[in-house]
Structure 1
């Protein structure tokens, strides 16, 4: 990825696109104080540099019957390359797993899983997660209420 120096206008473009990725270029240009052509060039440069990796639609989980959000801590029996690779490959195949992080501390991995109900989570555990080679321990924490959810990264720390 090329080393792209972000200025004030680039940061403003990123902030606005994180809030509304479907914003028309002419509106975006107006909000950042550019004409449409230079604004579009900047957006393309941000995409080509990998700063903007993709555009997505955020779907409300409850509206598609996925109200249960579980954070799952997973411990492996050994932290060796073959166990790590097998675990990561297995969770990549599971659509219920929205996020997976290799962790430091007590757990080896932290997963965020969404399912329609507790029975679905039980099936996911029994039929998939517990069958991954090397899984030695699983601790599940059920989210009772979503207090805050954001996808926009905070950009205030960037210079300029």
Structure 2
């Protein structure tokens, strides 16, 4: 997929959406200095080109019953290299998984998870990672604090 050429208006729209995707089209158009109908067309084009992948709720895992967050580093066995993308999609679909990152370097994945407690985190690692014959190593790091970037700039 080829990245579309973005102009200053597109960048204002992306910054506005990343700060508050629920704002009205009229408010977003005013920030970009364009007509509301033009704004709708621009946002539609950004979605169709894949620049805007979706609109999501930012849920606080702690307030939603999963106060323990961890980043789990995963290294795969060499024989599993052809299945990395499939494994990544499987992980992304599991309960409690917030993000999955395919990496270059010493580890193959970082898996950002939220669990109700240490027992749930331990069960996740054992059931979904350590018991998988393709997984060579896991390393779990607890997250004490997390700040989400609020803007695309």
Greater CA drift, 99-108 or 33-42: 99-108
The answer for the alignment partner of 2:38 in structure 1 is 38
The answer for the alignment partner of 1:12 in structure 2 is 12
Q: How does 1:75-114 map to 2 (within 5 A)?
A: 75-82=75-82, 84=84, 87-114=87-114
TM-score normalized by the length of structure 2 = 0.87
The answer for the alignment partner of 1:21 in structure 2 is 21
How large is the RMSD of aligned CA atoms in angstroms? 2.0
1:127 lines up with 2:127 in the alignment: yes
Write the distance in 2 (CA, Å) between the matches of 1:84 and 1:49.
26
- Residue aligned with 1:62, SS: coil
* CA deviation after TM superposition for structure 1 residue 17, in Å: 0.8
- For the 8 Å contact 2:100–2:109, the answer to whether it is kept is yes
1:53 lines up with 2:87 in the alignment: no
The answer for the alignment partner of 1:137 in structure 2 is 137
* CA deviation after TM superposition for structure 1 residue 85, in Å: 5.3
Write the distance in 2 (CA, Å) between the matches of 1:131 and 1:142.
21
Q: Name segments (4+ residues, structure 1) moved above 6 Å.
A: none
User: Which stretches in structure 1 are left out of the alignment for 5+ residues?
Assistant: 155-160
User: Which stretches in structure 2 are left out of the alignment for 5+ residues?
Assistant: none
* CA deviation after TM superposition for structure 1 residue 37, in Å: 1.2
Write the distance in 2 (CA, Å) between the matches of 1:149 and 1:104.
23
Q: Aligned pairs, how many?
A: 153
* CA deviation after TM superposition for structure 1 residue 89, in Å: 5.0
- For the 8 Å contact 1:86–1:132, the answer to whether it is kept is no
State which structure, 1 or 2, has the greater radius of gyration over its C-alpha atoms.
1
Write the distance in 2 (CA, Å) between the matches of 1:3 and 1:90.
27
